[in-house]
Amino acid sequence: MPELPEVETIARDLHNVLSGQKVMAAEFLNTAIREDCTRFAPTVLIGNNLESVSRRGKNLIFRFQNNFAIVCHLKMTGRLIIDADLPNNKKHLHFQMQFDKSRLSFYDVRKFGRICITDLSGLEKHPRLRKLGPEPFALTSDEFVKLVKLRNKPIKLILMDQEIIAGIGNIYADESLYDAGIKPTLKPSKISRPRLIKLLESIVKVLTISINNRGTSVDDYLDGHGQKGNFQNLIKVYGKTGQPCPTCGAKIKRVVLGGRSTHYCTRCQK
């Protein structure tokens, strides 16, 4: 599902509506999505105020009074929706939290998503958070070049490696590389420093535009209010196999890299 812009959109939606509200009830309806490292039953949250909802990489972090916290990863099809209509596919409803003024529902068709109920000490050493690389927005050019050069595998796989940089997934890797004019299969040793610096600029640019458009809804993604994003209308290459490149008109090519569909323009990306 969601990559950085989608998770950021959801985090902001939930923070705006839910922070300051008190938890009245919380329960798993399906424990398949309960993370193994969960330390507490959801009932420990009852009576606590939600202090904030934030994002780290593709993870959502809820902080409550008394140092309780939730870490949530939506994987491919997870959704967190405020005051979703109840009749809406109960079959895929796996977790629910009732606040004094709102209800938060976690849906996931494929059940890949995970929710962990923990506390501050659990947050610090959470396996999903501890190994994450830096956020793309926090990187200087020098840091980015150094990070990328640490490994010698195709640049797209480096961008998608959460331990190197956190938050970039398949869509934004393809779109950023297109914007920077870099072929996804190139290894960093074959990319000049100026081109790598341009790549970081493209990443920041593409992610920012997508956040401003509330993310990409090509399939399942919905924001915290159950609404679609708009960035799918601005996508240049992702999922556009065989269609003309918006810049030069050449057909967009699809290859498989790291088991993921990869889309690029053979003329614009070298």
Identify which range of 38-46, 136-144, 201-209, 214-222 contacts DNA by CB under 7 A. 214-222
Q: Does 220 bind DNA (CB under 7 A)?
A: yes
Identify which range of 45-53, 68-76, 138-146, 196-204 contacts DNA by CB under 7 A. 68-76
Instruction: Please identify which residue in the block is written with the tokens 């923070």.
Output: 15
Give the span between the Cα atoms of 94 and 27, in whole angstroms.
9
Q: Could you confirm whether 3 is annotated as catalytic? A: yes
- Which residue, 154 or 224, has its beta carbon nearer to DNA? 154
Instruction: Please identify which residue in the block is written with the tokens 């008109």.
Output: 249
Beta bridge partners of 79: 107
Q: Does 267 bind DNA (CB under 7 A)?
A: no
Site for DNA in 229-258 (CB under 7 A): 239, 257-258
Give the span between the Cα atoms of 28 and 34, in whole angstroms.
8
Contacts of 227 (CB under 8 A, 6+ apart): 214
C-alpha atoms less than 13 angstroms from C-alpha of 196 in its C-beta half-sphere: 22
Q: Of the candidates 165, 138, 135, which has an alpha carbon nearest to the alpha carbon of residue 149?
A: 165
Q: Does 184 bind DNA (CB under 7 A)?
A: no
Q: How far is the CB of 49 from DNA (least distance, A)?
A: 29
- Which residue, 22 or 75, has its beta carbon nearer to DNA? 75
Identify which range of 38-46, 60-68, 166-174, 191-199 contacts DNA by CB under 7 A. 166-174
Site for DNA in 96-115 (CB under 7 A): 109-112
Q: Using alpha carbons only, give the angle 45, 11, 259 rounded to the nearest 5 degrees.
A: 110
Burial of 90 (0-12, 13-18, 19+ CB in 10 A): exposed
Catalytic residue annotation: 2-3, 58, 260
Which residues contribute to the site for DNA (CB under 7 A)? 1-3, 6, 32, 57-58, 73, 75-76, 91, 109-112, 127-128, 153-154, 157, 160, 162, 169-171, 215-221, 239, 257-261
